[in-house]
Chains A and B, each alone.
Chain A
Amino acid sequence: MTDFLTVSLGFILAMLALGLIRVLRGPGEADRMMAAQLIGTGGIAALLLLGSVADLSAAIDVALTLALLATFASIAFVKKGLSRLGAESSAAREDGSAWRSTS
């Protein structure tokens, strides 16, 4: 049984590695964020499997923390953080095209 779960863990890690290609290639910022989201979810699954394989019950707590905070990177991407320092100068330079992806 442990062998099966270890192989599943390896498979999920391989999927994460493939997902990395999208983080690196983009082309748009939304694409990179999506890939990061998928890797985050895969990482949670990997942690669950790892906790089961290595018999570490606290690994579920780590997975729980990651699942709880899984939205934060994407929220930061959409909201540009909390502070508006520097926003004026960005707007002036960008002709309002702040969201244009680089594709």
Chain B
Amino acid sequence: MALDIVTIVAVSAGAFFFLAGTVGLLRFPDTLTRLHALTKADNLGVGLVALGLLPRAGSLSGGLKLICVWLLVLLASATVSQLIARAARDSGPLP
């Protein structure tokens, strides 16, 4: 029961961060601010969803894979934001 509450709270929080990231992506005025919203949101979103699903993983390897997914998303998000920010900077004057 307590574990169910962990799942509900963490997955809801993860969904909230996806909402925040998507709203930022749609509403923020320029490329770099949108990038800012995106990188904050997707890490935490996936991280919290993975955390919430950990009690339901069923096996040790399943839980490890969940954590690996989160770590990989962290790495990907950090790298991609660097690469895209550089490409955006090189593409023209910043606002």
Contact = CB atoms under 8 A, between A and B. Distances in A.
Q: Is there a direct interface between A and B, measured as CB atoms under 8 Å apart in the complex? A: yes
Interface of A: 1, 4-5, 8, 11-12, 15, 18-19, 21-22, 28-31, 33-35, 37-38, 41-42, 44-45, 48-49, 52, 57, 60-61, 63-64, 67-68, 70-71, 74-75, 77-78, 99-101
A37 B69 contact: no
Contact of A60 (B38, B65, B75): B65
Given A33-B84, A74-B83, A19 B22 contact: yes
A37 B77 CA distance: 8
A33 B79 CA distance: 13
Contacts, number: 144
Given A35-B25, A61-B65, A100-B92, 18 more contacts: A11-B19, A19-B25, A29-B91, A30-B91, A37-B76, A38-B25, A38-B38, A41-B76, A48-B66, A49-B49, A57-B62, A63-B69, A68-B72, A77-B84, A99-B87, A99-B90, A99-B92, A101-B91
